[in-house]
Amino acid sequence: MSQTLTRKAKVAIPLTVALLLSACGAKVNTTLDITEDNSGTRTMNLSLKRDADAEGKINGGFEAIDASIENHLPDELTYSGLTVDTEQATASFTLSFTDADDYRTKAMKLLEYSGIEKDPTLTIINTDSPLISGFAYDENFNSTDLLGWIPDSLVTDGVVSQDNKNNILDGNGPGKITAKGKTYDTDSGYLRTKDTIDNRFESAKIEISPQTDGSYETQVAFSRSSVPAGPIIEKEDQHFENLDIDGLEKDKAGKSETAYERTLQFTSENMAKLTENLDKVFLTTGSKLESKLGTSRANSLYLTTIYTGSIDTSKIADERFSQLTIKIVNKDDDFALSQDSATGLTDFSISISRPISVATLDFALDVKDKETSSLKLAFGIPANEAEQLNTAITKKFTPANDLGTLTSDDSDDLRHYTIEIPEITPLNSQEVVDFIGGRIGATVPEIASGADYLVSLHIFPNQLFENLPAEITGKITLPGRDTFSFTDESSISGWKIDGGTATLTELTDKYISFDGPVTEHSLVWFIVGIVIAGLVLIALVLAFIFRKKLSAKLADFREKRRIAAEQAQAAVRAQAQAYVQAQGATQTQAAAQAQTAAQAQTAAQAQTAAQAPGANTVPPLNAPSASPAPNTPSAFPTPDAPQDPQEWDESDLM
């Protein structure tokens, strides 16, 4: 709030005060009061000697000067008004601040309002630390810089002429700084004092590397131009040992170019944690670091990140020689893809261009036959980055209409994109290569290699995304019962082979690389086996379902079989008895016929003998007997065999 001049001042101050402002110029004396918490006031007193000859050069008199100052007074200042006596006239302006950051911010606005191109820097050491104790103050601006708007205001309002503009302020006089109960006098307009025991490092170089997962790897290198004495090193050790930072590594950096260097290395999970850790390193509470994303150029997968903030290193290292570097590093070869640096860390702005972050990449190559396959690529990009580059991503990764599709969805703070190419054949393989790069698909080998066909998959993520994904997974699947036929699976490093499936286990050469021979296996017998197994299964199921009916039928069938067997046995016995009876009758008839025949023959022979000479001759003893009648049975008659009980028809079960 501005303060208007009192009525007493308006009455007491003659017009010559205004004349003196424009003629002889006012000296600016400064008093700076700083409390223990770094709040305070900066009072700038204007004083000038009276000169009656200058009265005629003021347009509008005292009221015009007062009105002009009131009209243009910036919000950062309070105005006390003019006071005059017989020797001089004075006016004062006060800048109040709550801490060093507030002080710096208001000083910057006053410099801008005064048309002075300067970034204000100031150092306030007002506490004890392991490496410095006491009080120190330094600045790169002065009070006439902060009040540079007054001459322009008076000229703009026509109170003084343009010719007299440079005579209104006549430079800075002596200044005073009050802090810690002491007053320090300064001779020049720039307030500087140092009442400390200063064992700080001469410089601090902060190097921050943002990671794809949102974390920040940080190294702080402190250096001196010469090796300090033992007591100072002990103070350094005391500070380092008291740092409570997760995963902190001390003095693990490589060889330094300076005579003496000590380093701290740590990883912060996010930016808020990073600023907290920087506060711990530099024993402050005011570290600030912010970032804003934006595309660097149209249709590019590069992002520009602008980092702004402030870091106060003054309690540990001389802030005048401290530096911040932010860089994006390729982890594979430790090459900085992009970096920028800033000195004067009280208010920095750093721009970094980097490739888009790819959190995940998953691929699936599905081989259909020896010349046809399909491919699916799914990758995840942090949603905030994808939002900035969605147009460029969609344009780059959308296949031609007859080649495939691109879809996307959001989950887990990622935007997931999926490229699907349903059919890769010799006819479109070159188009696929032009779209994705590398070599993809199944081919028949031109030279006999003991394999029926070859499967190849070569994808270069660095070329595809201009950055290596943080996590890469995927697999290759063969059709049917086809299998990979590696003679030595150790030759295919980073892959696990399981019959007809190859799974990526480790990315060994920064790109996906696979060449696999395949042996075909016919599906005919496999299908036949499946059919038989299916029929057996159906039969078992039906048997289970109709088990009660089948059980009854089987019991009935067993009863019928028993009865049939008994009947067959009875028939056999009857036939055997009939045969025996027939055999006996036949033998009796044959004996009778034989006896009759013998008698007849004897009678005939006797008659012949009686009639022939020598009829009294006895026939030989071995004369043949009469043959049996032709109808005499010569073998055991075979009766009709009964039906075999084992021979039954399915109709018996019905």
Q: What is the pLDDT of residues 444-457, one digit of tens each?
A: 765 546 788 999 89
Query: To the nearest whole number, what is the mean pLDDT of the chain?
Result: 81
Average pLDDT over residues 157-166: 86
Amino acid 213: pLDDT = 81
Amino acid 14: pLDDT = 37
Phi, psi (rounded to 5 degrees) for 426: -55, -25
| Cα angle for residues 555, 561, 562 (degrees, 5° grid) | 95
Q: Among 72-81, 355-364, 403-412, 627-636, which stretch is predicted with the lowest mean pLDDT?
A: 627-636
Strand ranges in 370-500 using DSSP code E only, listed in sequence order: 372-382, 405-411, 414-424, 439-443, 453-459, 471-477, 483-484, 495-498
pLDDT over 50 at 641, yes or no: no
Amino acid 340: pLDDT = 83
- Quote the tokens at residue 254: 């490589």
Amino acid 611: pLDDT = 53
Average pLDDT over residues 90-117: 94
Amino acid 279: pLDDT = 95
Amino acid 207: pLDDT = 94
Confidence grade of residue 398 (pLDDT, cut at 50, 70, 90): very high
pLDDT over 80 at 337, yes or no: no
| Cα angle for residues 435, 439, 443 (degrees, 5° grid) | 120
Phi, psi (rounded to 5 degrees) for 17: -60, -45
Q: Among 24-33, 39-48, 225-234, 488-497, which stretch is predicted with the lowest mean pLDDT?
A: 488-497
Distances (CA, A) of 317 to 35, 210, 222, 312, 346: 22, 24, 7, 9, 14
pLDDT over 80 at 525, yes or no: no
pLDDT over 70 at 149, yes or no: yes
Asked whether 305 and 200 are in contact (CB, 8 A), the reply is: no
Phi, psi (rounded to 5 degrees) for 643: -60, 135
Sign, Cα dihedral of 603, 608, 610, 616: negative
Amino acid 260: pLDDT = 93
Q: Among 51-60, 282-291, 523-532, which stretch is predicted with the lowest mean pLDDT?
A: 523-532
Distances (CA, A) of 323 to 120, 307, 311, 326, 461: 16, 14, 10, 10, 34
Residue pLDDT, tens place only, 162-208: 888 888 888 888 899 999 899 999 987 789 998 999 999 999 999 99
Amino acid 414: pLDDT = 94
Amino acid 175: pLDDT = 93
Average pLDDT over residues 243-249: 95
Amino acid 622: pLDDT = 45
Q: Among 30-44, 250-264, 569-583, 640-654, which stretch is predicted with the lowest mean pLDDT?
A: 640-654
Q: How far apart are CA 456 and CA 433, in angstroms?
A: 12
Residue with tokens 């506490």: 127
Higher pLDDT, 643 or 596: 596
**SS3 state at 80:** strand
Of 425, 412, 337, nearest to 380 by C-alpha is 412
Residue pLDDT, tens place only, 541-550: 887 787 777 7
Of 468, 569, 550, nearest to 509 by C-alpha is 468
pLDDT over 80 at 602, yes or no: no
Asked whether 90 and 82 are in contact (CB, 8 A), the reply is: yes
Confidence grade of residue 409 (pLDDT, cut at 50, 70, 90): very high
Higher pLDDT, 598 or 468: 468
pLDDT over 70 at 289, yes or no: yes
Amino acid 331: pLDDT = 56
Confidence grade of residue 319 (pLDDT, cut at 50, 70, 90): confident
Amino acid 9: pLDDT = 40
pLDDT over 50 at 616, yes or no: no
Q: Among 206-215, 380-389, 522-531, which stretch is predicted with the lowest mean pLDDT?
A: 522-531
Identity of residue 90: T
Of 420, 463, 417, 419, nearest to 438 by C-alpha is 463
Burial of residue 590 (number of CB atoms within 10 Å: 0-12, 13-18, 19+) = middle
Amino acid 524: pLDDT = 54
Average pLDDT over residues 577-592: 68
pLDDT over 50 at 528, yes or no: yes
Higher pLDDT, 445 or 140: 140
Of 134, 155, 143, 171, nearest to 72 by C-alpha is 155
The pTM of this model reads: 0.54
Average pLDDT over residues 358-383: 93
Average pLDDT over residues 347-358: 85
Question: For the chain, what percent of residues have pLDDT higher than 70?
Answer: 80
Amino acid 597: pLDDT = 66
pLDDT over 70 at 587, yes or no: no
Higher pLDDT, 270 or 636: 270
Amino acid 211: pLDDT = 85
